[in-house]
Amino acid sequence: TPDSGDAKNLRIKLVLLGDSGVGKSCIVLRFVRGQFDASSKVTVGASFLSQTVTLQDTTVKFEIWDTAGQERYASLAPLYYRGASAATVVYDITNVESFQKAKFWVKELQKHGSPGIVMALVGNKADLRVDRAVNVEEAQAYADQNGMFFIETSAKTADNINELFESIARRLPRGPG
């Protein structure tokens, strides 16, 4: 869209869904702090971290919810993603089971998520491609069928981490004007 001249500031709740161990917390820490800690512990607390992405005329402040437990207690998940305008559903490219679980979360979001929620399908641990178990083509096709954006990332090498959040930011509705 042409530059309207007036900058916008958006504050967006973003949730991460996906199996335990796929790298959700590492993605957040890479994005927010630029760090990767291979010995990172299971998710800390229930608060959120925030980070800002600046597009041409819009500043998007992501409030990223990364609470532990949503993986195991599916019944709690609707509370977790209530009010979320964006969701990333993460799997591990070396783990087929985590891809099946990602599909489960996509269906949950379609049933219970906010209308118009921007969803990204994220194949993490792309640095481990020698052990790849999920094809790019299969994941891309699934994402296309479900109106999602697809990307492979590595929290370890930082590959595509900023691109993930920038792509979500670009897909957010901007509202009137």
Interface residues with ligand GDP (CB under 6 A) are 20-26, 38, 40, 43, 124-125, 127-128, 154-156
**Minimum distance, C-beta of residue 78 to ligand GDP, in the bound complex (Å):** 19
Tokens of 17: 């869904």
Q: Which of 15, 2, 143 is nearest to 25 (CA)?
A: 15
- Helix 24-33 to helix 161-171 angle, to the nearest 10 degrees? 90
Alpha carbon distances (Å) from 161 to 3, 31, 115, 118, 175: 27, 6, 25, 17, 26
**Minimum distance, C-beta of residue 7 to Mg ion, in the bound complex (Å):** 34
Out of ligand GDP, Mg ion, none, which partner does residue 154 contact, by CB within 5 to 8 A per kind? ligand GDP
Query: 3-state class of 6 per DSSP?
Result: coil
Q: How many residues in total does the chain contain?
A: 177
Out of ligand GDP, Mg ion, none, which partner does residue 30 contact, by CB within 5 to 8 A per kind? none
Near Mg ion by CB under 5 A, which window of 40-48, 77-85, 139-147, 151-159? 40-48
Binding residue for Mg ion, selected from 32, 36, 43, 167, defined by CB under 5 A: 43
Out of ligand GDP, Mg ion, none, which partner does residue 26 contact, by CB within 5 to 8 A per kind? ligand GDP
Per DSSP, 138 falls in state H
Residue whose beta carbon is closest to ligand GDP: 23
Out of ligand GDP, Mg ion, none, which partner does residue 22 contact, by CB within 5 to 8 A per kind? ligand GDP
Alpha carbon distances (Å) from 73 to 24, 32, 34, 134: 16, 26, 29, 25
Contact status: 25 vs Mg ion (CB under 5 A): yes
Nearer CB in complex with Mg ion: 25/85: 25
Number of residues that bind Mg ion (CB under 5 A): 3
**Minimum distance, C-beta of residue 24 to Mg ion, in the bound complex (Å):** 5
Q: Which of 135, 137, 140, 98 is nearest to 120 (CA)?
A: 140
